[in-house]
C-alpha cells in the first residue's frame, strides 16, 4: 500500500483502484500536498519529527524544513515541540494541525467520491484494464 495514495473506496469492478495525489496552492504561495499531509499524520502518530521523517525516507533536516514551512504559512502553528522530557523532546500536532489533516483528506475523499464516474471512464480507456475484461 503506497502511503501517499488514497484508494477509491466502493469501487466494485475488478480494475485496480484509482489513487490520487492532490496538491493545493492556497493564497500567496502556500502549498499543501500529500507529503506534508502524511508527515503531519506521522508526527501525530509518533510524537516525533525525526521518526515521522524517517518513516517516509526523508532526512530530519527535510522533515523539519517542511514543518517550519507549514508553521510559517499558517496563522497558528501546526506542530509544536517540547524540549526535554523522555527522548529529549518530542513534537505534537496542534488542534490547527489536526484540522488541516482532516480538511486535506476530506478534499481527497470528495474528489474520489464525486469524481468516481469520470475516474471510472478514464480507467476504462486504459489498455491494461481493457485486457482484463
CA-to-CA distance for 82 and 88, rounded, in angstroms?
A: 9
Task: Find the binder of a second copy among 11, 58, 73, 98 (CB under 8 A).
Answer: 73
Quickly tell me which residue has 504559512 as its cell: 73
- Radius of gyration of the chain, Cα coordinates, nearest whole angstrom: 18
Contact set for a second copy, span 27-46 (CB under 8 A) = 27-28, 30, 32-33
Question: Can you tell me which of 83, 85, 88, 125 binds a second copy, judged by CB under 8 A?
Answer: 125
**Contact between residue 87 and residue 61 where contact means Cβ atoms under 8 Å apart:** no
Residue from 45, 61, 68, 103 touching a second copy (CB under 8 A): that is 103
- Spatial CA neighbour of 93 closest among 25, 45, 26, 131: 45
Q: How far is the CB of 51 from a second copy (least distance, A)?
A: 26
Q: How far apart are CA 13 and CA 10, in angstroms?
A: 9
Give the footprint of a second copy on this chain (CB under 8 A).
5, 15-16, 18-28, 30, 32-33, 72-76, 96, 99-100, 103-104, 106-107, 110-111, 114-115, 118-119, 121-123, 125-130
Amino acid at each position: 500500500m503506497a502511503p501517499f495514495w488514497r484508494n477509491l473506496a466502493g469501487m466494485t469492478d475488478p480494475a485496480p483502484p484509482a489513487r490520487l495525489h492532490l496538491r493545493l496552492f492556497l493564497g500567496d504561495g502556500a502549498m499543501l500536498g500529500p507529503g506534508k499531509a502524511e508527515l503531519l499524520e506521522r508526527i501525530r502518530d509518533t510524537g516525533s519529527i525525526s521518526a515521522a521523517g524517517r518513516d517516509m525516507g526523508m532526512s530530519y533536516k527535510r522533515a523539519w524544513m517542511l514543518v517550519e514551512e507549514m508553521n510559517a504559512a499558517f496563522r497558528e502553528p501546526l506542530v509544536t515541540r517540547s524540549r526535554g522530557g523522555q527522548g529529549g523532546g518530542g513534537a505534537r500536532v496542534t488542534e490547527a494541525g489536526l484540522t488541516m489533516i482532516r480538511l486535506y483528506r476530506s478534499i481527497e475523499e470528495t474528489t474520489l467520491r464525486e469524481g468516481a464516474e469520470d475516474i471510472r471512464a478514464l480507467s476504462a480507456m486504459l489498455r491494461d484494464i481493457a485486457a482484463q475484461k
